[in-house]
Amino acid sequence: MADTTLPHSGGETEIVISADSTPIAFERTGNGPPLVLVHGVTHVHEFWDLTGVRSAFAEHFTVYALDRRGRGESGDATEYDLAREAEDVVAVVDSISEPVVLLGHSGGALYSLEAALRTDNLRKLVVNEPPIQISEQELEVKEVVDEMNRLLDDGKNEQALMLFLQAEAHLTPNEIDVARSAPIWQDMVDAAHTLPREWQAIAEYEFNPARFADVTTPTLVLGGGESPPFYKHATEAVTEALPNSQLIRFDGQSHEPMNTAPDRFIEEVLTFIRDSD
């Protein structure tokens, strides 16, 4: 993340109703063909503003940056299921009157992949390092999830978020210092109560390549050259499973190239979208 002050987007906040009747908020900015942005597990929709990615896209597209359930002006439900996240993305995508480019990061990339199975309104799909478990031993979350829940029960939301960033996101001390100085840090703390349920559901998710054999939407899979093997295995598996996909790795970068190499990230996404369908 970048240590920056977020510009005022000047966007319009709108609400759609998801399949389980949960209201999902998104902010609309820019003009042009539609581009829907789905943030990751720990973030809020302003994540895309940390290095100006959203404003750069808004020069070419109408950008719809959604707040996932439990954050911002989006609602929530008592019961949680990973499929509800995909339905939330679909609710936004299907509310748009023309085919959409859908871009998801991390957990948002997984929910976007699942959304691609549930909508016919996609023009193109971009996913950055979905946290998909390919090897059975890659995600052992019970101890961390239990400790996060104990911290949350004691009202220690920030400590729970810090634990997740250290133990599961594998951020370095310097990266955590940068995260804590980011203008969305308090929003991340406020949403920390969603982390145990989401990470547990991601750990239980079983990726079945056969389910995606008919997803012919042109797809760009992004990954970091310095990312942990967990993410590298996931991006390779997704690229192999989707029949119309390509994989690009950002040399020298890890899990968040939109923040560590924003110019190249924007260029790669724009080039992919502009290529003929």
The total domain count for the chain is 1
In a domain, 18, yes or no: yes
In this prediction the pTM is 0.93
pLDDT in tens, 96-131: 999 999 999 999 999 999 999 999 999 999 999 999
Residues 233 and 104: their CA atoms lie apart, in Å, by: 18
In a domain, 190, yes or no: no
In a domain, 147, yes or no: no
In a domain, 266, yes or no: yes
Helix axes 157-167, 142-153, angle to 10 degrees: 160
Which residues form the domain of 94? Answer: 12-136+207-274
Q: Look up the CATH number of the domain holding residue 228.
A: 3.40.50.1820
Please state whether 129 falls in left (phi above 0), alpha (psi between -120 and 50) or beta.
left
In a domain, 200, yes or no: no
In a domain, 129, yes or no: yes
Residue-level pLDDT at 277? 60
Amino acid letter at 115?
A
What are the residue ranges in the chain where pLDDT is below 70? 1-10, 136-137, 276-277
DSSP H stretches of helix in the chain: 53-58, 82-94, 107-116, 142-153, 157-167, 173-181, 185-190, 195-204, 229-241, 257-260, 262-274
Q: Specify the DSSP class assigned to residue 71.
A: S
pLDDT in tens, 155-196: 999 999 999 998 888 777 777 888 899 999 999 999 999 999
What sign results for the dihedral spanned by CA atoms 259, 264, 270, 272?
A: negative
Residue 172's φ and ψ, nearest 5 degrees, are -75, 165
Residue-level pLDDT at 155? 97
Residue-level pLDDT at 68? 98
Residue-level pLDDT at 143? 93
Residue-level pLDDT at 137? 59
Residues 114 and 201: their CA atoms lie apart, in Å, by: 13
In a domain, 42, yes or no: yes
Residue-level pLDDT at 176? 83
